[in-house]
Structure 1
Amino acid sequence: MRLHHVGIAVEDLEAAKARYLLLGYRVLAEGEVAAQGVRVAMLQGEGETLLELLAPLGPDTPVGRFLAKRGPGLHHLAFATPRILEDLARLRQEGAQAIDETPRPGFGGHRVAFLHPSFGLGVLWELVEEA
């Protein structure tokens, strides 16, 4: 699987976007994933480099709790797959603890599934299905 994007938890989405724009990134898409209580800005750098900035809609959301516990910074690594169900099953057979037993809707209309950071050596992994 190739790296799809790097997810970064931020407290202030506008300030974070401004910082990365200084590096030449551009805003590719913005929106909300209401089910996860998060505002998202997907930024693109040179080539296919994508950064996903995540700001919580409130403190009692997954990203809100992450920020309260760890502060801003790396939230997850996302890996692209054309076969999310097969890859999720294969990784679970290899010992991955799935946060999502079945894929759920993610930003941009992709189906996604998260794996516990214990399998990712301390880093939350996200599988992103690409057509």
Structure 2
Amino acid sequence: MATDGAAKVTAIDHVGIAVPDLDEAIAFYQETFGLVLAATEVNEEQGVREAMLRAPGDDGSGTAIQLLAPLTPDSTIAKFLGKRGPGLQQLAYRVENVDEASDAIRGKGIELLYAEPKHGTENSRVQFIHPKSTGGVLVELVQPAEH
């Protein structure tokens, strides 16, 4: 049960993995684990080309794997790859309202990366919590788009 003033997470939305070559990574996850490509898109603002993969039969409510490849050499993902190499980049929690969740987190004195939530994958709204506030893990808060 969430305590009063908590961000009110409803699920683990996805795990983000930084990759140097998106097409190669998609093929690997499909051929090795049988995951199904649910969506691909380019997010210019965040400097990434990305793909969401899901388990066969997942209606979109389960946890996804998000593959993130850099669009430019100065993007956040390119810098991550240059510093750490390919691998786990973020853990994303699903929330019903990213504005309320951001306010709750900020109210605890925890550092967010953005003043306001941004556009995310599949028209979601997202906010990130700085890794220094979460034991070294980049945490994303995701409010899925209403369908």
> TM class by shorter-chain length?
over 0.9
- Structure 2 residue 25 is matched with structure 1 residue 16: yes
Tell me, which stretches of 5 or more residues in structure 2 are unaligned? 1-8
* Alpha-carbon displacement from aligned partner over 1:15-53 (angstroms, at most 9, x marks no partner): 111111120101000010011110001000154130000
Residues in 2 aligned to 1:107 and 1:34: alpha-carbon distance in whole angstroms: 11
- Structure 2 residue 124 is matched with structure 1 residue 110: yes
Match of 1:32 among 25, 28, 42: 42
Q: Give the superposition deviation at 1:13.
A: 0.7
* 4+ residue runs over 4 A deviation: none
Q: Give the superposition deviation at 1:101.
A: 1.5
* Alpha-carbon displacement from aligned partner over 1:96-116 (angstroms, at most 9, x marks no partner): 201012101111111101110
Return the TM-score normalized by structure 2: 0.85
> How many pairs does the alignment contain?
131
Structure having the higher Rg: 2
Q: Give the superposition deviation at 1:10.
A: 0.2
Tell me, which stretches of 5 or more residues in structure 1 are unaligned? none
- Structure 2 residue 109 is matched with structure 1 residue 99: no
Residues in 2 aligned to 1:29 and 1:93: alpha-carbon distance in whole angstroms: 34
Q: Give the superposition deviation at 1:122.
A: 0.7
- Structure 2 residue 54 is matched with structure 1 residue 44: yes
